[in-house]
Amino acid sequence: MKAGDVMFFRSIVGKLWISFIVFAVIILLFLGLVFSELFAGFYYELKSEKLVDDGTRLAEILAEYPISNPMVGRQVEFMASFVDANITIIDPEGMVRMCSGSGYMGRSAHRGMTGMMMMQHGVRLNTDEVNEVLKGNVVVKRGYHQDFETTLLTAAVPIIRDGEIAGAVLLYAPMEPISETIKTVRLLILYAGGGAIVVATVLSLVLSRKITRPLLKMNRIALDMARGDFTGQVPEDSRDEIGALARSLNYLSQELKKKTAAEKRIEQRRRQFVANVSHELRTPLSYLQGYTEALKDDLPKTEEERSNYLSIIHDETLRLRRLVDDLLDLHRIEEGKLVLERGPVAMDELIKVVVSKLEPRARENGIKLEAIVPEGLPLVAGDADRLEQVLINLVSNALQYTGSGDVVRIEVKDRAGRLQVKVSDTGEGIPEDELPYIWERFYKVDKARTRKGGGTGLGLAIVKGIIAAHGGEISVESMLGKGTTFTFILPVAGPMGAGG
């Protein structure tokens, strides 16, 4: 059995099926009992009324005419035939004087009525109902009758002549017809039970389509999801709990899909990162190895050559150091652990420092480095060292990608509560389709030229991280062959003036 498969009796449809049938059987049993009782009661009620009616009519006739009158005999026979009862007439002593069952049974050929034959003339009846009726009361009784060996309905009506009890009319009706009816009802209920089972089965099948199908489909999709396949979608059309479950499952699938995709991207980035770092480390390390080995083997012949080797080794060490520093910075930025030593920063001062540091390099390459800083600039709330790092990075890049005769300019503007700093150059520019990627770590536009200025492609990623940590924004505009402008905006510290 696969995961998610269920046995019929454990399945929802199976459980429903059983419940339906148990329910139907209980209801039908109950109905059967209630109907039998109701029918019997109803029949008894009707029949006894009729018997008492007929009895009363006969008693009235008998009160007027003596029993020897042939009309009385005919009347008794007639009545016995259509009330479906045996009629016995007794005198005040309880002696049977006439009996419709004596030698003539008419229509009342029911089983158990043979006992009627015992009611012959001259037999003395001494039952409870006889004693009771001879006291002048109308008696109605239902129950098993000893003499007839069957369940009978008995009605006894006294014959009252001139205020005296002159005898009684006894009517015995069998309960057979109602027993037959009850039997029929029970049979009908049995058929209904069979029908209920059929209906339950059909209903379960219909419900299986409605309930189980989507559930089974969801089950399959959940199993697919566990295997990493998120293509399956459950139909969400029903408005009930199953529809809600379907919607949740689809949502879950969607979210898991996004998450797995994100995880894949992260994993890919991590691998790419390790590859990039190894690549960046390899070149300086092979330089270091090569030149130290050359020194060890006393390869350089002159002192000048020797010091040249040492300065290469020194440069490469610095380069490695920068790389490691950058990686650490980047790590802190990406982990959100970049600690800013915030304080009021005077941007004009900072720019002066940066210009003084990079001026020699600019002059060396025939590049004009200029700063346009207005008076009375507001202070910036930030980390002076980190902001200097940003400026040095941007200006170094500008110097890096410009040539002799070009201009690199730093320009600051106060823009309504925010300070805008532009670092622009008239250098080579960046191709438009590469612009969105320059912020990514290790991204270099001209992959072939990386060694020249020692760029690793980490600088702009760090710059962006630092500006973001200050609550600022940075953007870039560039025209290939015309130059590049980096613009960043920083929130100002407060209403204080420059140098305050």
Residues that bind ligand ADP (CB under 6 A): 397-398, 401, 425, 427-430, 438, 443-446, 455-461, 484
DSSP three-state, residue 35: helix
CB of 485 to ligand ADP, least distance (A): 8
In the structure encoding, which two tokens stand for residue 355, read together? 């210009």
In the structure encoding, which two tokens stand for residue 441, read together? 């770590």
Closer by beta carbon to ligand ADP, 35 or else 443: 443
**Which H or E element spans position 21?**
helix 12-64
Closer by beta carbon to ligand ADP, 219 or else 485: 485
Asked if residue 470 lies in contact with residue 491, where contact means CB atoms within 8 angstroms, the answer is yes
Closer by beta carbon to ligand ADP, 97 or else 422: 422
CB of 293 to ligand ADP, least distance (A): 28
- From residue 414, give the alpha-carbon distance in Å to each of 348, 349, 375, 380, 394: 12, 15, 10, 11, 20
CB of 382 to ligand ADP, least distance (A): 20
CB of 463 to ligand ADP, least distance (A): 7
- d(C-alpha 89, C-alpha 432), whole Å: 127
Neighbours of 218 (CB within 10 A): 19
CA angle 327, 332, 334 (to 5 degrees): 90
Closer by beta carbon to ligand ADP, 234 or else 367: 367
CB of 425 to ligand ADP, least distance (A): 5
Residues 6+ apart with CB under 8 A from 488: 390, 420, 421, 467, 472, 473, 474, 475
CB of 404 to ligand ADP, least distance (A): 15
Burial 55-84 (b: 16+ CB within 10 A, else e): beebbebbeeeeeeeeebeebbeebbbebb
Closer by beta carbon to ligand ADP, 192 or else 407: 407
CA angle 245, 18, 241 (to 5 degrees): 15
Closer by beta carbon to ligand ADP, 34 or else 468: 468
CB of 429 to ligand ADP, least distance (A): 6
CB of 397 to ligand ADP, least distance (A): 3
Closer by beta carbon to ligand ADP, 313 or else 461: 461
Closer by beta carbon to ligand ADP, 203 or else 281: 281
Asked if residue 355 lies in contact with residue 373, where contact means CB atoms within 8 angstroms, the answer is no
Residue with tokens 């009802």: 185
- d(C-alpha 146, C-alpha 160), whole Å: 28
Closest residue to ligand ADP using C-beta atoms: 455
